[in-house]
Structure 1
Amino acid sequence: MTEATRRAPGTPCWVSLMVHGLDVTQEFYASLFGWEFAPGPPQLGPYVRALLDGKEVAGIGRLPADRHLPVAWTPYLATDDADATAEAIRSACGTVGVGPLVAGEEGRMAIASDPVGAVFGVWQAAAHTGTAVHGTHGTPVWNELVARDTAVSKFYQVVFGHETQALVPSADGGPAEEDRLTLLVGGRPVASVRGVGQALPRDRGPHWMTYFEVEDTDAAAQRVVELGGRVIRPPGTGAGCREATVADPEGAVFTIVRTERG
């Protein structure tokens, strides 16, 4: 378990989910990840922070009854100036849908989408610096942008200053099998972009995928089903991990992953 502090600009620092049934959703994630909950900033409406051992790991809020928006996990990228970042997003052909606005003494936030429509948040930390712990069961450990191709990475380079690193070619010297880039901040990997072409889900379009660490991927996938969710991609072996893609009872999709320990 590693505790985190204030992140460098461009680094994912928080994940949040907006749902219709807040109580039912809390029960699902409490049973799956062992989360407990505490009230969040009242400015955000009905909103709770998920806790592990008293440390904040994620947020869940209730959508207004008249808002029929897709239910999805949203990563927030750190910034030192939410207003300047919002202007940079607009200048780079992105869209700012909410904010920037003040979340009490916690910080300043905005919700935006990139040029291909993938939604993400922007967080300027004050009292709340973001996810307080990672690397243990129930904590977000990675975020990946899934799009038709990786050209959208240029938007993040312009807005957040990300560096990019291509997937390493295959061992036989041929081209990389996947259209995939790693986003780096100060030379450190912080997220990835994967181009899937025509395999992009038609019902979701380009989107950010949040990965949560679990103790046992197979057991966690089975537990998702028992709790009323579903398995979209069954457990399988990835690069140094075992992972599965699942959805909660309201349809929010996320990946559960057991990272191999050296």
Structure 2
Amino acid sequence: MTVLPEGTPCWADAMFKDLDGAKAFYGSVLGWTFGESASEFGNYTTAYSDGKAVAAVVPPMPGDDVPSAWCLYLASPDTAATVEKIRAAGGEVLMEPMQVGDFGSMAIAKDPGGVTFGVWQAGSHEGFEKQNEPGSYTWAEVLTREPGKADAFFPAVFPYSTKRIDTDQVDYKIFQVADRPALGRMKVGPDDMPPEAPSYVSVYFSVDDCDAAIAKVTEHGGQLFFGPMDSPFGRFAAVGDPQGAAFGVIDLGTTSGPMPTMADA
């Protein structure tokens, strides 16, 4: 079994009250197909792109009124040990470590600024079977109103080194694992998100054509929040599905401008 470096993004899932509606939306926008719901695991349903597992959707627990949102999981060699680091660094544990059959062990937590994320210790389920191709995960960034808390918390919990994008236009840092980018961190202000919206991890999925993906999002009842915008990394946009879960789409093949310089944080 391949063991991912600690702190590597390895999986994403989301809860939806209307599971069939979510399947229809993401099937149309990202081309996903879906496996059989696992009733023994709360009807957890894996999404596939070209036959490879890329994400999952699940209905909420009875009586659970949590808004729909994508949750990114970070790899851990020991979920219980990571949870202790989360507490020591001032985070909040929302779900204690839980064994999920032989698939692995999970926990859900928040950083001190209110950013929710997951922890995954792999068993038979190692994580994404496809990345950086259309229909699959490609990047994620912590969008936070309290960047100082995120900057202190995440490297205390995971073995991250930190780089900053050398620009005055945006406060953006990159958490690295073994000198490879793992997770972005961007400061957001009052003009970037409505005050009622929590700080969160924005998960990006790759698409063939950003503008065509946006058209599908709006056609099927979703929203465009930001973009499309050209960048050295690809043409991207921030969108939301009809049930309120925000995510990003990016066309990695359409790039513009020079790569930004990075400096030690």
TM over 0.5: yes
- 1:127 aligns with one of 117, 121, 124: 124
Q: Distance in 2 between the 1:11 and 1:30 partners?
A: 26
Change (3 A) 1:252 1:30: same
1:236 corresponds in structure 2 to: 229
Q: Give the equivalent residue in structure 1 for 2:152.
A: 154
**How does 1:89-108 map onto structure 2 within 5 Å?**
89-108=86-105
Q: Which residue is 2:82 aligned to?
A: 85
**What per-residue deviation string (whole Å, max 9, x for no partner) do you get for residues 6-57 of structure 1?**
4210011001101101111111111111111113654530110001122110
By percentage of residues, which structure has more strand?
Answer: 1
Residues 113 and 145, structure 2, Cα contact 8 Å, conserved in 1: no
Q: Decide whether the 8 Å contact of 2:116 with 2:200 is kept in 1.
A: yes
Q: How does 1:1-262 map to 2 (within 5 A)?
A: 6-39=3-36, 42-151=39-148, 152-169=150-167, 176-199=168-191, 200-260=193-253
Contact 2:205 2:250 in 1 (8 A): yes
* Secondary structure in 2 matching 1:134: coil
- The aligned amino acid for 2:185 is V
- CA distance in 2 between counterparts of 1:41 and 1:235 reads 36
Contact 1:211 1:255 in 2 (8 A): yes
Is contact 2:113–2:146 with CA below 8 Å preserved after alignment?
no
Structure 2 runs not aligned, ≥5 long: 256-265
Letter in 2 for 1:47: Y
Deviations, residues 173-195 of structure 1 (Å, cap 9, x unaligned): xxx32111000001110111001
Contact 1:43–1:103, Cα closer than 8 Å, also in 2? no
Q: Measure the CA separation in 2 of the matches of 1:14 and 1:207.
A: 16
- SS state of the match for residue 115, structure 1? coil
Distance 2:52 2:179 in 1: 28
Cα distance change of structure 1 residues 163 and 205 upon mapping to structure 2, 3 Å threshold? same
Q: Distance in 1 between matches of 2:10 and 2:118?
A: 10
Q: Structure 1 residues 43, 251: closer, same or farther in 2, change over 3 A?
A: same
SS at match of 2:190: helix
Aligned residues: 253
Q: Report the secondary structure of 1:71's partner residue.
A: coil
Is the Cα–Cα contact under 8 Å of residues 20 and 65 in structure 1 kept in the other structure? no
Say if 1:41 and 1:104, in contact at 8 Å, map to a contact too: no
SS of aligned partner of 1:158 = helix
Deviates more, 1:192-201 or 1:85-94: 192-201
Q: Residue 224 of structure 1: SS of its match in structure 2?
A: helix
Contact map agreement 1:149 1:197 (CA 8 A) in 2: no
Q: Which runs of 5+ in 1 are unaligned?
A: 170-175
Calculate the TM-score normalised by the size of structure 1: 0.92
Compared CA separation, residues 43 and 91, structure 1 to 2 (3 A):
farther
